[in-house]
Chains A and B, each alone.
Chain A
Amino acid sequence: MALLVVKDLHVSYASPKGELRAVHGVSFDMQEQETLGIVGESGCGKSTLGLALLNLLPPQGKVTQGKILLDGEDILSMQGEKLRQVRGKMVAMIFQDPMTSLNPVKKIGDHFAEAIRAHDPEVTKEEALEKAGTILNQLGISSDRLNDYPHQLSGGMKQRIMIGLGVALDPRLLIADEPTTSLDVVIEAQILDLLRQLKDSLKLSMILITHSLGVVAEVADRIAIMYGGEIFELADVRTIFKNPLFPYTQLLLKLVPNVASKSTSLEWIPGSPPDLSSPIPGCKFAARCPYVFDRCKVDPPTLREVRPAHLVACHLYDEGAK
Chain B
Amino acid sequence: MSLKSYIITRALLTIPMILLLATIVFLIVRVLPGDPALLHFGKTVNPAALAEVRHALGLDLPVYTQYFNYLTGLFQGNLGIAFSNEQPVAPQILSAFPATLELTICSMAVAVLVGVVLGVRSSRKYGSKEDTVIRTFGVVIYSIPVFFSGLILIAVFAIGLHWLPAGGRISTVPPLGGSILGFHIQTGLYTVDSLVAGNLPQFVDVLRHLILPSVALGLYISAVFIRITRSNMLETLGQEYVTAARARGLKERTVLYNYGLRNGLLPVLTIMGLEFAGLLAGAILTETTFAWNGLGTYIVTAITDRDYIAIQGAVVFFGILVAVVSLVVDILYAYLDPRIRY
Chain A contact residues, CB within 8 Å of chain B: 51, 54, 56, 58-59, 84-89, 92-93, 95-97, 100-106, 114-115, 118-119, 149, 151, 162, 165, 169
A104 with B248: CB separation less than 8 A:
no
Knowing A84-B252, A118-B251 touch, does A100 contact B239 (C-beta < 8 A)? yes
Across-interface contacts of B241 in A (CB, < 8 A): 100-104
Across-interface contacts of B251 in A (CB, < 8 A): 84, 118
For the complex formed, measure the closest distance between the CB of B336 and the CB atoms of chain A, giving whole angstroms: 6
Across-interface contacts of B249 in A (CB, < 8 A): 84-89, 115, 118-119, 169
CA distance A103 to B244 in the complex (A): 9
Across-interface contacts of A58 in B (CB, < 8 A): 238
CA distance A51 to B243 in the complex (A): 9
CA distance A106 to B239 in the complex (A): 15
A149 with B258: CB separation less than 8 A:
no
B258 with A103: CB separation less than 8 A:
yes
A95 with B244: CB separation less than 8 A:
yes
User: In the complex, given contacts A56-B243, A101-B244, A118-B251, what are 4 additional A-B residue pairs having Cβ atoms less than 8 angstroms apart?
Assistant: A87-B247, A87-B248, A102-B241, A103-B241
Interface: B262 (CB within 8 A): yes
Which residue of the partner chain, among A87, A103, A162, contacts B246 with CB atoms under 8 Å? Answer: A87
Across-interface contacts of B239 in A (CB, < 8 A): 100
The 5 residue pairs across chains A and B that have the minimum distance between CB atoms: A88-B249, A87-B249, A88-B248, A93-B247, A149-B338
Which residue of the partner chain, among B246, B250, B337, contacts A56 with CB atoms under 8 Å? Answer: B246
A104 with B240: CB separation less than 8 A:
no
Knowing A102-B241, A105-B263 touch, does A118 contact B338 (C-beta < 8 A)? no
Across-interface contacts of B263 in A (CB, < 8 A): 103-105
B240 with A100: CB separation less than 8 A:
yes
Knowing A88-B248, A118-B249 touch, does A104 contact B337 (C-beta < 8 A)? yes
Can you give 11 A-B contacts (C-beta < 8 A)? A56-B243, A88-B248, A89-B249, A92-B247, A96-B240, A101-B240, A101-B244, A103-B259, A105-B336, A114-B245, A114-B248
For the complex formed, measure the closest distance between the CB of A221 and the CB atoms of chain B, giving whole angstroms: 23
CA distance A97 to B241 in the complex (A): 10
B258 with A114: CB separation less than 8 A:
yes
For the complex formed, measure the closest distance between the CB of A128 and the CB atoms of chain B, giving whole angstroms: 13
- Interface positions, chain B 283-342, Cβ under 8 Å from A, are 336-339
Interface: B199 (CB within 8 A): no
CA distance A59 to B123 in the complex (A): 12
Across-interface contacts of A119 in B (CB, < 8 A): 249
For the complex formed, measure the closest distance between the CB of A180 and the CB atoms of chain B, giving whole angstroms: 16
Interface: B157 (CB within 8 A): no
CA distance A151 to B263 in the complex (A): 14
Which residue of the partner chain, among A51, A151, A165, contacts B248 with CB atoms under 8 Å? Answer: A165
Interface: B254 (CB within 8 A): yes
For the complex formed, measure the closest distance between the CB of B337 and the CB atoms of chain A, giving whole angstroms: 6
Interface: B148 (CB within 8 A): no
B337 with A95: CB separation less than 8 A:
no
B248 with A149: CB separation less than 8 A:
no
Across-interface contacts of B238 in A (CB, < 8 A): 58
Across-interface contacts of A89 in B (CB, < 8 A): 249
CA distance A101 to B244 in the complex (A): 6
Interface: B126 (CB within 8 A): yes
Across-interface contacts of B337 in A (CB, < 8 A): 104-105
Interface bits B260-282 vs A (CB < 8 Å: 1, else 0)? 00110010000000000000000
- Interface positions, chain B 116-133, Cβ under 8 Å from A, are 126
Across-interface contacts of B126 in A (CB, < 8 A): 59
Across-interface contacts of A97 in B (CB, < 8 A): 240
Which residue of the partner chain, among A86, A96, A101, A115, contacts B250 with CB atoms under 8 Å? Answer: A115
CA distance A219 to B105 in the complex (A): 60
Across-interface contacts of B243 in A (CB, < 8 A): 51, 56, 95
B247 with A54: CB separation less than 8 A:
yes
For the complex formed, measure the closest distance between the CB of B125 and the CB atoms of chain A, giving whole angstroms: 10
The residue in chain B whose Cβ has the minimal distance to the Cβ of A90 is B249
Interface bits B50-73 vs A (CB < 8 Å: 1, else 0)? 000000000000000000000000
CA distance A10 to B263 in the complex (A): 34
CA distance A223 to B19 in the complex (A): 69
The residue in chain B whose Cβ has the minimal distance to the Cβ of A97 is B240
CA distance A162 to B266 in the complex (A): 24
CA distance A229 to B127 in the complex (A): 27
